[in-house]
Structure 1
Amino acid sequence: MSAALPFIVLFLGIALLLVLFIRFKINTFLALVITAVLVALGLGMPMDKIATSIQTGIGSQLGELSIVFGFGAMLGRLVADAGGAYRIATTLIKRFGKKRLQLAVVLASFIIGIALFFEVGLVLLIPIVFAIAVEAEVPILYLGISMATALSVTHGFLPPHPAPVAISAALHANVGRVLLFGIILAIPTVYIAGPLFTKLAQRYAPSAFEQKGNLSSLGEIKEFKLEDTPSFGLAVLTSLFPVIFMAITTLYQLIFTGGELPKNPSAMDQFIAFIGSPSIAMILSLCFAMWSMGWHRNRATKDIMTSMENAVKSIAMLLLVIGGGGAFKQVLIDGGVGKAVATMFLHTNFSPLLLGWLVAVILRIALGSATVAALTAAGIVAPLMAQSGVDPALMVIAIGSGSLAASHVNDAGFWMFREYFDLTVKQTLSIWTVLESIIAVCGIIGVMILNVIFH
């Protein structure tokens, strides 16, 4: 096989994906699997091994992730249906007051964003943000940018979100360390891409801040009376439960066991490692949410189960798309693309972290889906991990931040933002696309700084 062939096949594969998505409007999962088969053939993989490679990719991707993803969706839906998300947002906004409204929206979006997927969080928070903006007599976009930033950062940087957990699994990274580094980087990133960027955007795109928004595009909006919702403390605790477990495990291991599970762990070591694994953390968190957002509020078991079933229905196709991304990633690894990339950068001083970020950026621009871009990038740079000595947790965040860059017309998030805030395509490009790119750049700068500190 010539040295250039893997890159030619990869380029043609990505081009084919684009054509299938944009020109023929083929379902994302189907397009990914078709492309994976054709790329495998192009890379010269034995035909009898292709199906196994695709099955391995889907299976390994969805093994642990199916619990994290499925149970995470159920937990988020239970919090939302009980009015917990509404309570968190309104309480924080009242506490912070009119002068610090952006900070209140950021904090509410951050807490809710950890428990909910980006699209669901957006749909849930926008009516609240609209209502607050009207009451405070500020432009809707003034608060909307901070909300979207916090949701995007949790989506790209923090477990138990699907992309960070999936990349962690692909690169064998410690999820607790990803969470720790992710929170450290999320705080300055959200401030820069949220409140700071809003000031800049008001200067160069003032017309966008005159829009009144479009609530009708959300369909029927569930309304809550504050007295009928769970307490603020219980709603926050339920939303953050999985993060708390992962954080406990990470801190315990950093303080007592040097950051890793020892070869001969004590019963306490095993227990702490057990509760901090993403799948167990989600199982325990969901059980708590069923009580706190369900039985404790006198909701019937049938009603709780309906919320959970609806949550699974809403993410079924997204779960398949992640599996399809895993299939494509596995074909790239088994077909030698990862090795070709590793060989190309073997004798250069180019940072593997920067490479992972750059690959994710290119794939994000080409494919639109942040999750697919992240998984494909992980497959390409995985072979570099062994020889580079880079902390896999930092590589996860580098790829995750790169996968958010330059969202444009091939990304569903672009159109959701445009529709809800009633913007033109030009305005959406000048606000949303720039905002996502700032997050990506802040993410990689932060990763490079942490790499110097912890290397």
Structure 2
Amino acid sequence: MSTFSLLFIAVLGIALLLFLVIVVRLQAFLALLLVSLFVAVIGGIPPAEIAGVIQTGMGNTLGYIAIVIALGAMFGEMLQVSGGAEQIANSLVKKFGEDKAQWALGLAGLVIAIPVFFDVALILSIPLVYSLGRRTGRSLLYYAIPLVAGIAVGHSFIPPTPGPVAVASLIGADLGWVILMGLLAGIPAMAIGGVYFGKKIAGKIHLDVPAEMEEAAPPPQGTPLKDLPSFTMVMTLVAVPLVLILLNTVLGVALPEGNPVRDWMAFIGHPFTALTLVTLLSFYFLGTMRGYTRNDIQRIATKSFEPIGMIILVTGAGGVFGRTLIETGVGEALAGAMAASNLPIILLAFLIATVVRVSQGSATVSMVTAAGLVAPAVEMANYSAPLVAAIVIAIASGATVLSHVNDSGFWLVGKFLGMSEKQTLQSWTVMETIIGGVGLIVMLIVGFFL
């Protein structure tokens, strides 16, 4: 087939995906699978080989991501149930003081959202926003925007949260480098989109605690808080997998092949091992030591799998889509077109994710779709590990910007803060766009030096 025909197939596939998700309201997993079959048929893959391509794409993707997300989910559930996530938020606000509560909430949101899902992190932390708003008389946005900015950064930029793990798996990025790039982009994004913008928008929109949320506020001052795990213990547990994965990446660069320290660190610092270790540690320190029985811990661990099944399947279907693009030759044509455009791969990845994000709302679907399209170009270009990680964060940034009425996060934040649709657009949507924009700018700067 000609290059034009192959590129036309890619455009047609994306158009069909958006139609199935937006108009037909088909579940994203099934929509991605159907689009992959469509691309395989019209792309010229022999009918007898299509099933094998699907199996390869699904298996290669899930062989990695299913383990990482499942282990991360168990750790996150233990952190939530034991009160560890609540302890992080309470302690940081107390340590920073009321005058620097914006920074405390932003950092708390970022840390909590690494092992815990966005909606859970928000539900756990929002009572602090209500309490501070009542005590100071400031608009809730003064405290809420830094909090949700931190949660959004942790949720989108820093593994082992599912989004960047999924993209890293699909384009072959090293998680250690992704963590480094995520922190590099995420901290300034939280500061500008959360702390700085939070001050600005709070001066324009005043919000009090919504009447229906009154009961969600924390107990009055003087009422003893429930017994929570220590801040030091919780932060140590959160840091364990991040530090081990980062050490693996650093020693992999610093030490020569065959060095026994490097070899052992490659084992201990692999995401599988690091997350298995912290999950077992959380079972003991957040479970057994706090009075949970083995049956309790088993029930908590099993419950953690409930929200991740669809994330894993959608990511697997994204792997099928990417493999189909490669097998049909569409991936090679896309790689050639990207190279001919003379646009940096980081910017292209961001733009693709942004288009899908604005069209259908789901950050996960936009990340997976963009990764599937970019993967062939990454595979063929032989980019360095840091640059591939920067592409992951660029995709995550594109999947963050311009959140509006087709995104569940838009309605969740609006509901908890009692905002109208217009106010949510003025605050949440602008904040998300700033975060994604800052992430892109930082990655473009990084890419310039790589």
**TM-score, normalised by the number of residues in structure 1:** 0.90
Where does residue 194 of structure 2 map in the other structure? 194
- Bigger shift: 313-322 or 10-19? 10-19
| Structure 2 residue 368 is matched with structure 1 residue 375 | yes
Q: Quote the Cα distance in structure 2 between the aligned partners of 1:222 and 1:377.
A: 45
Matches within 5 A, 1:10-89: 10-89=10-89
Report if the CA contact (8 A) 2:158-2:183 is conserved: yes
Where does residue 238 of structure 2 map in the other structure? 239
Where does residue 354 of structure 2 map in the other structure? 361
Where does residue 351 of structure 1 map in the other structure? 344
Q: Quote the Cα distance in structure 2 between the aligned partners of 1:124 and 1:217.
A: 15
Where does residue 420 of structure 1 map in the other structure? 416
1:429 maps to which of 401, 411, 425? 425
Where does residue 124 of structure 1 map in the other structure? 124
Aligned-residue identity in percent: 36
**What's the offset of the Cα at 1:296?**
1.4
Q: Quote the Cα distance in structure 1 between the aligned partners of 2:111 and 2:224.
A: 21
CA deviation map 1:284-327 (0-9, x unaligned): 11011001101111211111111111111122222222222222
- Bigger shift: 25-34 or 396-405? 25-34
**What's the offset of the Cα at 1:191?**
0.3
**What's the offset of the Cα at 1:82?**
0.7
Amino acid at match of 1:415: W
| Structure 2 residue 310 is matched with structure 1 residue 299 | no
Helix, strand or coil: the match of 1:312? Answer: coil
Where does residue 341 of structure 1 map in the other structure? 334
Q: Report the count of equivalent residues.
A: 445
Q: Quote the Cα distance in structure 2 between the aligned partners of 1:71 and 1:225.
A: 33
**What's the offset of the Cα at 1:217?**
12
Residues 1:157 and 1:347: Cα distance change in structure 2 (over 3 Å): same
Q: Quote the Cα distance in structure 1 between the aligned partners of 2:318 and 2:416.
A: 28
Q: Quote the Cα distance in structure 1 between the aligned partners of 2:170 and 2:64.
A: 11
Report if the CA contact (8 A) 1:333-1:380 is conserved: no
| Structure 2 residue 215 is matched with structure 1 residue 212 | no
Amino acid at match of 1:251: V
Q: Quote the Cα distance in structure 2 between the aligned partners of 1:122 and 1:134.
A: 18
Residues 1:31 and 1:145: Cα distance change in structure 2 (over 3 Å): same
CA deviation map 1:194-249 (0-9, x unaligned): 0111233235xx34x32534765999999996351111111111223211211222
| Structure 2 residue 437 is matched with structure 1 residue 444 | no
CA deviation map 1:89-135 (0-9, x unaligned): 11111121111111110111111111112232222222333233323
Residues 1:216 and 1:270: Cα distance change in structure 2 (over 3 Å): same
**TM-score, normalised by the number of residues in structure 2:** 0.91
| Structure 2 residue 381 is matched with structure 1 residue 387 | yes
Report if the CA contact (8 A) 1:408-1:429 is conserved: yes
Report if the CA contact (8 A) 2:16-2:35 is conserved: yes
Amino acid at match of 1:395: I
Q: Quote the Cα distance in structure 2 between the aligned partners of 1:217 and 1:27.
A: 36
Residues 1:8 and 1:415: Cα distance change in structure 2 (over 3 Å): farther
Report if the CA contact (8 A) 1:71-1:282 is conserved: yes
Q: Quote the Cα distance in structure 2 between the aligned partners of 1:327 and 1:44.
A: 16
- Bigger shift: 279-288 or 429-438? 429-438
Q: Quote the Cα distance in structure 2 between the aligned partners of 1:214 and 1:235.
A: 33
Root-mean-square deviation (Å): 2.6
Matches within 5 A, 1:246-261: 246-254=245-253, 256-257=254-255
Helix, strand or coil: the match of 1:433? Answer: helix
**What's the offset of the Cα at 1:32?**
2.0
CA deviation map 1:129-148 (0-9, x unaligned): 32333234332222111111
Q: Which runs of 5+ in 2 are unaligned?
A: none
- Bigger shift: 179-188 or 326-335? 326-335
Report if the CA contact (8 A) 2:110-2:152 is conserved: no
Q: Quote the Cα distance in structure 1 between the aligned partners of 2:168 and 2:118.
A: 19
